Amino acid sequence: MNTDDVLVILAGIVAVAAVNWWFFLAGREPKAKRDARRN
């Protein structure tokens, strides 16, 4: 495994984390707001 491989693996991990953070965490409605809407 060379430096390029390590860089690609690290970049991949960061990218996967970013995708999941953006779609699952950052997009989540704040709990207080959600409760307010449901009530």
Partner 1 sequence: MRDATEARPHGAVPGARPDAAGAPAPAEPTRLTIPVSGMTCAACQARVQRVLQRTPGVQDAVVSLMTNTATVHFDGAAIAPRELVARIRATGYGAELPREEVGALEAQQALDDAREREFRELRTKALVTLVAGAIAMVVSMPLMEAHAHLGAGVIDPFMRWTTAWISPALRPVAPWLYGVPAPVLSYGLLLLTGGIMLWAGRHFYVRAWRAFRHHAADMSTLIAVGTGAAFVYSAVATLAPGSFLSRGVAPDVYYEAVIIILGFILLGNAFEARAKGRTSAALRKLVDLQPATALVLRDGREQDLPLDAVAAGDLVLVRPGERLPVDGEVESGESAVDESMLTGEPFPVAKAAGARVIGGTINRTGAFRYRATTLGAKSVLAQIVRLMRDAQGSRAPIQNLADRVSAVFVPVVLSLAIATFVVWYVFTPEGTPPLRAFAASVAVLIIACPCAMGLAVPTAVMVATGRGAELGILLKGGEALERSAGIDTVVLDKTGTITEGRPAVSDVEALPPFTGDEVLALVASLEQSSEHPLAGAIVGAARERGLAAGLATSFRSQPGKGILGSVGQRALVVGNDALLRDSGVDVEPLAARAAALAARARTVVFVAIDGRLAGLLAVSDPVKATSRDAIARLHELGLSVVMLTGDVESSAQAIAREVGVDRVVAGVLPAGKVDEIRRLQREGRVVAMVGDGINDAPALAQADVGVAMGTGTDIAIEASDVTLLRGDLRRAAHAILLARRTMRLTRQNLFWALIYNVLGIPIAAGVLYPAFGVLLSPILASAAMAFSSVSVVTNSLRLARTRPA
Binding site for partner 1 (CB under 8 A): 1, 5, 8-9, 11-12, 15-16, 19-20, 22-24, 26-29, 37
Residue 34 and residue 13: Cα distance in Å, rounded?
31
CB of 10 to partner 1, least distance (A): 9
Nearer residue to partner 1 within complex by CB, 1 or 32:
1
CB of 18 to partner 1, least distance (A): 9
DSSP H helical ranges for the chain: 3-20, 31-38
| Single-letter code of the amino acid located at 8 | V
